[in-house]
Amino acid sequence: MTFRSVFDAAFIRTEFDKSGINTHFIPSIWKYVIQNPNCEWRQIPSLPSAAYSLLSSKFKPCTSTVDSVIESTDQVTTKLLIKLQNGGSVEAVIMRYDSSLGKYGGKPRSGGLRSTLCISSQVGCKMGCKFCATGTMGFKSNLSTGEIVEQLVHASRLSPIRNIVFMGMGEPLNNYTALVEAIRVMTSYPFQISPKKITVSTVGIIHAINKFHDDLPNLNLAVSLHAPVQDIRCQIMPAVRAFPLGKLMDALAEYQKKSQQKIFIEYIMLDGVNDEEQHAHQLGKLLETFEVVINLIPFNPIGTLSQFGTSGDQRVTKFQTILRNTYNIRTTVRKQMGQDISGACGQLVINLPNKKSAGVASLTDIEDLHL
């Protein structure tokens, strides 16, 4: 029999309702499981007797397990390989920062130590982006709500998580229902992550963007644009043929009108492909009427899979200067973290070399947005 994760919110609420058990017990069950990962259901105090029977017959505290934890030499990045109940695996990455370092607007930054968790939403990915290791896996399966939430549960035992970015394996908006439900769990008791500290990244799934704000208000939306014109996007991101750039920009304009929030634009710098001065001007003109922050991402090599080169520092700086000075668009350059453990942006992938258990390799779409 396959057991469901206790964090599969819709399923456990339905089962409690069917059994006549008050659903207000569910958050306290979650809190106990977070604090006692290897608990037996009978150890949870003050539940109705019917709840113990139901939990024992249909649920596990966690359906996934942490298969390995790999620390980077920078001592601020940790990669978790998480084994799923069905034998598949995903990776999640913890990135630690001291947000008080440096200056903002000429003044010292407020803040202190914090951790950001990069979460996966699928095993593999359908998008097939040519610069991303995950795309080489193809699509394996969607994660359930519980499997998404359990990544936060596992990571929270290693570091207090303040920010969450859905930029791990998979296209989050292609697993929309589970994504929405998981985020609603994460923003409620006992997790209580602020919606403003959660960012969802997408290549531009237009129909999902059209309902994103209504379903998940106050979240941050990041768009993996990666090119200023449709033909270059299609060359490096084949799946975006289904999402024409003009229609995507219309959807983003409507989203911004409704949400009144900045949109984060992710732009991977590929040598000789999308990093020339003309591309910077095209990007500036495309986005000059929007409220955006552009995050330029140095390309992370993915070994023999790579057909691209990394843009030189001077070219990245020139690109950033054009966007800032000519178009007055706030533009940052991604700080790379975890490259030595294949935990940087574009490096997430699970290799399954004719084995049922997964071997550790690399991760995808790790984002480091300075919110």
Q: Please list the active-site residues.
A: 91, 345
56 and 40 in contact (C-beta within 8 Å)? no
Kindly give the interhelix angle for 26-35 and 9-18, rounded to the nearest 10 degrees.
130
Neighbours of 146 (CB within 10 A): 27
- In the chain, which residue ranges form alpha helices assigned H by DSSP? 9-18, 26-35, 49-58, 145-156, 176-186, 206-215, 230-236, 245-259, 277-287, 313-321
For tokens 């779409």, name the residue.
365
292 and 255 in contact (C-beta within 8 Å)? no
- Helix and strand numbers, DSSP H then E, in the chain: 10, 18
CA–CA separation, 313 and 298 (whole Å): 9
Going by DSSP bridges, is the β-strand pair 103-104/139-142 parallel, antiparallel, or unpaired? unpaired
249 and 354 in contact (C-beta within 8 Å)? no
